Each structure stands twice: as C-alpha cells, then as structure tokens.
Structure 1
Amino acid sequence: MNTENNVLKKIKQKLVVSSQALPEEPLHSPFIMGRMAYAAYLGGASGIRANSIADIQEIKKTVDLPIIGIIKRVYEGSEVFITPTLKEVDELYREGVDIIAMDATDRIRPDGSTISELFPNIRETYKDQLFMADCSTFEEAAKAVELGFDLVGTTLSGYTEYTKDRSLPDFELVKQIVSNFSVPVIAEGGVSTPEELKTMFDLGVYSAVVGSAITRPMEITKRFVEAIQ
C-alpha cells in the first residue's frame, strides 16, 4: 500500500494520543474517552489510538481525526490480547477505523496460530485496510514488514516476557527499525516527556503515540507520589 496514503499523511511527523482506560480504572467510559480525545485534539494531536468499538464510536462523535483502533480481549491460555483474532479484526473493519493495530509478536494466539500464519489471510481479506504491527523486538518488526503490515510500532517492547527488562522508551529498537526498513515506524511505549518525543522524531520515526503521560491521570499521579516517597 502507498505509504503516502491520505490517512498516513495526516499523522506524518505528528503526535497521536492514545485515549484508553481499562475497566479497573476510574475513567473507564466511552463518554470520558470521547472527551479525552477531544481534549487531545484541542491540544494539537493529529490522531487518536482507541480501544473497543464503544470508545471508538464515541470518539468519532467528538473528533475528526485518524483513528488507530484496537480491541483488547483476553482469551484463556494466550498472552496475546491486542486485536488477537480474526473476530476483533472484523469488528474494527466493520466499524471503519482508519488503521487497525494488532499484536504482531511471536507469541501463540488464542486460536493456536502465529502472526505469520494468521496475517496473510487478513491481508488478503481486507485489501483496502491499513494495518499496524505492535512489535516488541527487531525480529518481530522484520517479520511484520515481510508479512505486509503498513506500519510498524514498538508498542510491545518491555511488555513481553522476553523484553520485560528493557528500559522504556526503547530508543535502540526504534533506531534499528528505522535504519533497516522504509515502512512507516510508529514510536509507542513509555514516551513520557516532550523531550523523549522529540528524540523519537530526531531518530526518524514517521509518527509517535503517547498515552499514559497524557490520558491516564491515575498513573501520572502515581509517578509524582513515588518521587516524594
């Protein structure tokens, strides 16, 4: 797919804000996520990353920005929970999100498949859809490029069992991917200051996603409290 697709042009060299809240968090509500996305838009965000059809529908009412859509769904026996199966891909496609992001790690998916087995069918079925690979290693990013993902993100670095010791944000992984592939690279995961964001763009990323540092006040509060304990 043409990397200068209109949706991609809108987020090129711009900030995407992740507007998500998990069920156990106080702000878990489609209405609140819609307002959070609107606040991000007013602050200058050029795209939104959102979880669940309900949140995405609400966010669409408040902002006209490209949406990176995911569905977090936990299946027993699998560590993969970001758009883990064809079912979630289909739900997001029918909702009409601009970009569908999915776990592209090497881990076994709920249906017993790997991303290498699952994605070719998805790519063939949804030819007109942009797909983002959420990766945790350089090898996973390389595989995602080979499989035909339109964008590659560093989203899961530090969040898989085999990368949990990495310090975030993972500048080294970003450097590796940017220097080896021409596919748009999305920096995501652990970017917590404007200075870190600027460094990511200096390294050559196409776009970057910031979430917790902007849209999760409970986590932000914890960071401040920890600093004085």
Structure 2
Amino acid sequence: MLIPKGALVVSCQARADNPLHGPVHMSAMAQAAEAGGAGGIRANGAEDVAAIRAVTRLPVIGIAKVWDDRFPVYITPGFEQAARVALAGAHIIGLDATARPRDGEPVERLIGRIRDELGREVFADIATLEEGRAAHAHGATYIATTLSGYTDETASRKSAAPDLELLSALVAEVPAPVVAEGRFDTPELVAEAFRRGAHAVVVGTAITNPREITRKFAQAAEAWAATERL
C-alpha cells in the first residue's frame, strides 16, 4: 500500500481556463505540497503526472479526465487513459467507480486490468456506500468519497461541507483503506475525517487553487462593503 495511513494527499490540478494550468505550474505546486508535509499527490493527465514524478518522491495518484457530453463518467473512463498515466509514472490509478454509464468497459473489468496488466494500485472514486462495497469487491485498493454530491443520486448531499456520514459508513462496512475527499477545506475538517477513521484525506482547491481561494476572500470583502453602503 503506497499511501501511508494518516497522509494528507494534495490534489494538484488546474483546468484549461485556469492561469496555473500545465505541467510547469503543477509540478511546482507538487513540490510546494511535499515541502509542506503532504504524503501524496493527485494529478490529472500524463503530462502533469510525468512532470510531478520528476520533482517529487511522493506517491502519485494519476487520473485522466475525458469530457464527453454523452457520458457522465469522465475520470479515467477507460483502460487507454489508465495506461497512459501509468506510463507517465503514476504509482496509483484513480478512476470513477460509480454505477453511472461510461464510454468503455465495465468498471469491474477496468479495475482488474489496471491491477493485472499495469500492476498499479486502484483508487476508486465513489458516491455511495453500495458503490464503495462494489469497488472493494472488484479489487480496488482505496475507496474514496470523492464523488458524493456530484452524481444525480447524491446531488442532495452537495453542500458546503464534506459527506462525513458516507465516510463513517464506509469505514464501518468496507474492509479497505477509506480516503476522505470532496469539500475538505479546513484543517478542522481534515482532523474530523481522521477521527472518523479515514486512512488519508485529499485536499485540492483549498490548497492549490488560488483563484477560488481569492474569490472566497473577495466575496467576504464585497459583502462587508455592501453592508457599509446600507
């Protein structure tokens, strides 16, 4: 098992419209995360994975996002994408392990091929307890709460807070390392996840997206200014 128990995993990702998009910025972000005490990195795409592997000794969870309006699954939907990030140096392959339609083979076969043909651990992003149980049964190494609130079935759970109830349920019922991910934006929430039994916690936006962090502060400033004008 490559992700140590108690690790903070930092998600170093930036979409194409973000000024920090690209391997140069993401590799620098990964270096900063390692210097700050991170125990792992999550990264999107072969170029970013390769650049990050070149500058850090931390385990890298590699994913490949493929956007297709016909299918809701976009996180490493097929073996081709998984093989590409594995070749780039990812130690672990992250994928969407929800029950939603995907462009490619069934998730149970994909998990098996990643383990058997690529020799990589599998990091399964799920949204429900049932999906967590299934991903574990199919051979996933880690079960993560990443997609709770982001599927039609779980949309009502999306709020400002993480889905701690799902985390607790997974810890109680799934005999695999459970990783807390999704809307963890304060040290207190990270500590609560560990208190509830999380093997590791993934934090992204709150650490590696200055644009969104700035927006939060700017919104607070604007709200204060609005009250002054009343």
The answer for unaligned runs of 5 or more in structure 2 is 224-230
1:121, distance to aligned residue in structure 2 (A): 4.2
Task: Give yes or no for the alignment of 1:213 onto 2:175.
Answer: no
Shift of 1:181: 1.7
1:90 is the counterpart of 2:69: no
- Contact 1:76–1:110, Cα closer than 8 Å, also in 2: no
1:191 matched to 2:217? The reply is no
The TM-score normalised by the length of structure 1 is 0.91
Query: Hey, what's the Cα distance between the residues in 2 that align with 1:109 and 1:209?
Result: 24
Pick one of 117, 127, 131 that aligns with 1:125: 117
Quickly say closer, same or farther: Cα 1:179–1:100, change in 2 above 3 A.
same
Deviations 1:26-73 (A, max 9, x none): 111210001111111111111110011111111122211100110111
Match of 1:159 among 150, 165, 171: 150
Match status 1:14 vs 2:7: yes
- Distance (Å, rounded) in 2 between the aligned partners of 1:207 and 1:158: 20
Q: Which runs of 4+ in 1 moved over 6 A?
A: none
SS of the aligned residue for 2:180 comes to strand
Instruction: From the superposition, tell whether residues 227 and 161 of structure 1 become closer, same or farther in structure 2 (CA, over 3 Å).
Output: farther
Work out whether 1:43 is the aligned partner of 2:39.
no
Aligned length: 220
Residues in 2 aligned to 1:123 and 1:69: alpha-carbon distance in whole angstroms: 14
CA RMSD in angstroms, aligned pairs only: 1.5
Tell me if the contact between 1:107 and 1:114 (Cα under 8 Å) persists in the aligned partners: no
Percent same amino acid at aligned positions?
Answer: 41
SS at the partner of 1:24? coil
Structure index of larger Rg: 2
Tell me the secondary structure at the aligned position of residue 190 of structure 2.
Answer: helix
Query: What's the CA shift for 1:117?
Result: 5.0
Amino acid at match of 1:115: V
Helix, strand or coil for the counterpart of 2:124?
Answer: strand
Q: Distance in 2 between matches of 1:164 and 1:25?
A: 25
Checking the alignment, whether the CA contact within 8 Å between 1:104 and 1:133 is kept in structure 2 is yes
Distance in 1 (alpha carbons) for counterparts of 2:55 and 2:92 = 18
For 1:75 and 1:54, the matched residues in 2 are separated by: 20
Q: Equivalents in 1 of 2:187, 2:110: separation in Å? A: 37
TM-score where L is the length of structure 2? 0.91
Tell me, what secondary structure is at the counterpart of 1:57?
helix
CA contact 2:47–2:88 (8 Å) conserved in 1? no
Q: Trace 1:56-75 onto structure 2 (pairs within 5 A).
A: 56-75=49-68
Distance in 2 separating the partners of 1:96 and 1:40: 18
Counterpart CA distance in 2 for 1:202 and 1:120 is 32
One-letter code aligned to 2:132: A
CA contact (8 A) 2:146 2:180 kept: yes
Report the secondary structure of 1:162's partner residue: helix
Call closer, same or farther: CA 1:99–1:122 in 2, change over 3 Å. Answer: closer
8 A Cα contact 1:187 1:208, kept in partner: yes
Matches within 5 A, 1:94-109: 94-109=87-102
In 2, Cα distance between equivalents of 1:140 and 1:204: 19
Does 2:145 correspond to 1:139?
A: no
